[in-house]
């Protein structure tokens, strides 16, 4: 049996950078308070908790004089200010691409545009972007949310970083009919798209795909759906201990792909196990 690892796969640049900063802070300070889970992977969160990571759900829960961590999704200006007031040290893991989206949103609002964000209004990244806008804003989940009867004089458009480019194009195609002026910043990050393209290609060359990633990870679920839609058998595991030998029987070539929040050590454990089989 052969196995092929999708490329690229696993951690994106922004999450890797944030986790490296968090680990360095844990080594230096011992205890660090993170606002929201720093990564959608239960094994990695448990590993970091063993080093002193504490999770809180709001800025007001960060203890005074503590060390606080901001995850790659970023925060609103108000939350960031509150954390800076409470904590003695703030480790900012905001992804630079998300920070660019904050700056674009601020600039569009400053120029008087109605800021339209393509994304999920409940997603922390979108809430963070909204928290950088002084002025009017609207979140749309896709072209269907644009009211054909509405008239928007000046619209500034940007996107949650993990949206599909085709969704942005569809929204813009509809927007031109209801808007006098559109200014667009393409803030989509290709890390997610590249990982989805890599598993699609891999699925064509193998008899089955093992997808490794947290069951709470939306991007891992998406990889599973893509592989299944390509007609290949998929085994979704969180760690190598869940590898089902029965599922592997009769397969000559197996693909391995990992969600964008799956750390390297979990992928390495899996590939080492596959090498021994
Ligand atoms: S998906 Fe892109 S924007 Fe989001 S954290 Fe990763 S690198 Fe940054």
Cα separation, 41 vs 92, in Å, equals 20
Question: What pLDDT does 218 receive?
Answer: 82
Q: Return mean pLDDT, the chain.
A: 95
CB distance 11 to ligand 1 below 6 Å = no
CB distance 163 to ligand 1 below 6 Å = no
Atom of ligand 1 nearest to the CA of 73: 5
Cα separation, 251 vs 41, in Å, equals 28
Provide the pairing of β-strand 89-92 with 208-212: unpaired
Cα separation, 187 vs 95, in Å, equals 12
The backbone torsions φ and ψ at residue 182, rounded to the nearest 5 degrees and listed phi first, read -125, 135
The backbone torsions φ and ψ at residue 253, rounded to the nearest 5 degrees and listed phi first, read -135, 130
- The per-residue pLDDT for range 200-229, each reduced to its tens digit, is 999 999 999 999 999 988 889 989 999 999
Question: What pLDDT does 130 receive?
Answer: 98
Question: What pLDDT does 210 receive?
Answer: 98
- The per-residue pLDDT for range 263-276, each reduced to its tens digit, is 999 999 999 999 99
Mutate-to-test residue for ligand 1 from 22, 70, 191, 192, highest number of ligand atoms within 8 A of CB = 191
Question: What pLDDT does 197 receive?
Answer: 95
Distances (CA, A) of 101 to 37, 66, 118, 190, 248: 21, 28, 12, 14, 43
Tokens at 103, concatenated:
């700056």
- The per-residue pLDDT for range 24-50, each reduced to its tens digit, is 999 999 999 999 999 999 999 999 999
Q: Check pLDDT > 90 for residue 69.
A: yes
Q: What percent of the chain clears pLDDT 90, i.e. is strictly above it?
A: 91
Atom of ligand 1 nearest to the CA of 72: 5
Least-confidence region, from 59-73, 151-165, 231-245 = 151-165
Active site residue 125: yes
Average pLDDT over residues 84-90: 98
Question: What pLDDT does 43 receive?
Answer: 95
Question: What pLDDT does 216 receive?
Answer: 84
CB distance 162 to ligand 1 below 6 Å = yes
Question: What pLDDT does 249 receive?
Answer: 94
Cα separation, 137 vs 153, in Å, equals 13
Average pLDDT over residues 178-193: 94
Q: Check pLDDT > 90 for residue 153.
A: no
The residue annotated as part of the active site, out of 82, 125, 148, 238, is: 125
Please list the helix, strand and coil fractions of the chain in percent, rounded to the nearest 5, in that order.
Answer: 45, 20, 35
CB distance 101 to ligand 1 below 6 Å = no
Atom 6 of ligand 1: nearest residue by CA position: 14
């Amino acid at each position: 049996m052969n196995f092929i690892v999708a490329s690229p796969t696993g951690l994106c640049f922004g999450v890797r950078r944030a986790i490296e900063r968090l680990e360095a802070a844990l080594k230096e300070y011992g205890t660090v308070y993170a606002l929201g889970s720093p990564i959608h992977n239960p094994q990695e969160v448990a590993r970091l908790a063993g080093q002193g990571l504490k999770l809180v759900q709001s800025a007001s829960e960060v203890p005074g004089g503590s060390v606080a961590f901001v995850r790659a999704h970023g925060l609103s200006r108000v939350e960031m200010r509150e954390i800076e007031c409470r904590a003695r040290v703030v480790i900012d893991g905001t992804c630079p691409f998300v920070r660019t989206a904050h700056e674009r949103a601020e600039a569009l609002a400053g120029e008087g545009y109605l800021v339209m964000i393509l994304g999920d209004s409940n997603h922390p990244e979108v809430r963070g972007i909204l928290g950088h806008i002084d002025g009017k804003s609207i979140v749309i989940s896709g072209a269907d949310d644009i009211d054909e009867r509405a008239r928007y004089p000046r619209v500034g458009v940007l996107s949650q970083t993990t949206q599909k480019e085709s969704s942005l194009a569809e929204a813009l195609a509809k927007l031109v009919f209801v808007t006098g002026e559109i200014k667009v910043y393409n803030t989509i990050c290709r890390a997610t798209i590249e990982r989805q393209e890599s598993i699609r290609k891999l699925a064509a060359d193998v008899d089955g795909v093992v997808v490794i990633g947290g069951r709470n990870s939306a991007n891992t679920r998406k990889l599973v759906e893509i592989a299944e839609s390509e007609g290949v058998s998929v085994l979704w595991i969180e760690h190598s201990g869940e590898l089902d030998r029965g599922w592997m029987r009769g397969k000559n070539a197996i693909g391995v792909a990992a969600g964008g929040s799956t750390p390297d050590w979990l992928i390495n454990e899996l590939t080492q196990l596959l090498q021994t089989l």
